[in-house]
Structure 1
Amino acid sequence: MRFLLLLSVMLVAGGCSKSPSEVQTKVEWADIVRWNGHNYLLDQDFGEARADEKLGEVSFSLVGSEEEDNPTYQLKDGEATFASTGSAIQSVAGIPVEKAVLVEDNMYTTREE
């Protein structure tokens, strides 16, 4: 009888556990572009802006990649969370690059002072 009780407990406990490879993490990312050491956040309230010159392009898009569910992933220069790979990163006419960039016709601004 003890054997059956022990076997039942082991089956229930074993059925409830998951190996680390089975655990999935869902990470929600902000819409960010990293350029020249700065993180730029999508600024939907900024209004109209005119592109000045091309600075570079997005080299990697996090969402849709193997790194999407990695909560410790750190963006590198030229990478974005949502903007498509190959999208132009442009300066904004009349605004210092340290403050804002345009990507896919969207304004991204820093929150740094």
Structure 2
Amino acid sequence: MRFLLLLSVMLVVGGCSFSASEVQTKVDWVDTVCWNGHKYILDEDFGEAEADEKLGEVSFSVVGSEEEDNPSYQLKDGEATFASPGSAIQSVAGVPVEEAILVEDTLYTTREE
């Protein structure tokens, strides 16, 4: 009888364990765009900005992709966390590209980390 009780307890405890592949992670991404070796972050306090030249397009968006819940994913040039693939990346009139860009009329700036 003790054997059956011990076996039952072992089955219940063993059935409640989680493997590493079953653990899910939720990542909160910052609205970011990588372009030409720089990381730009959404800047709602910059003020008015006028588009100048088209520099390129967003090639990949993390949110909505398989990488969305991957906390170790690193953005590459042309990628964004939220901006949709195909979104135009433009320079800002009168501002060096190393400091700010526009992505579909949304301003992103570099910041000291």
Q: 2:35 matched to 1:39?
A: no
Runs of 4+ in 1 over 2 A off after TM superposition: none
Output the amino acid matched with 1:67.
E
The answer on 1:87 being equivalent to 2:81 is no
Counterpart amino acid of 1:51? A
**Structure-2 separation of matches of 1:38 and 1:2:** 66
> Within 5 Å, which residues of 2 pair with 1:39-78?
39-78=39-78
TM-score normalised by the chain length of structure 1:
0.93
Paired AA for residue 19 in structure 2: S
- For residues 37-92 of structure 1, the C-alpha deviation after alignment (integer angstroms, 9 at most, x for no partner) is 11100001112100000111000000000011110000000000000000011000
In 2, Cα distance between equivalents of 1:46 and 1:65: 29
> What residue in structure 1 maps to residue 12 of structure 2?
12
Q: For residues 112 and 97 of structure 1, what CA distance do their matches in structure 2 show?
A: 15
Structure 2 Cα separation of the partners of residues 6 and 104 of structure 1: 64
RMSD: 1.3
Cα deviation 1:5-58 (Å, max 9, x = unaligned): 322321222222112222111111000000011110000111210000011100
**Deviation of the 1:112 alpha carbon:** 3.0
Task: Give the Cα separation in 2 of the matches to 1:48 and 1:31.
Answer: 19
How many residue pairs are counted as aligned between the two chains?
113
Opposite residue 48 of structure 2, the aligned amino acid is: E
Local SS of the residue matching 1:6: helix
- Any gaps of 5 or more consecutive residues in structure 2? none
Alignment identity in percent?
83
Aligned partner letter, 2:80:
A
Q: Map of 1:11-30 to 2, 5 A cutoff?
A: 11-30=11-30
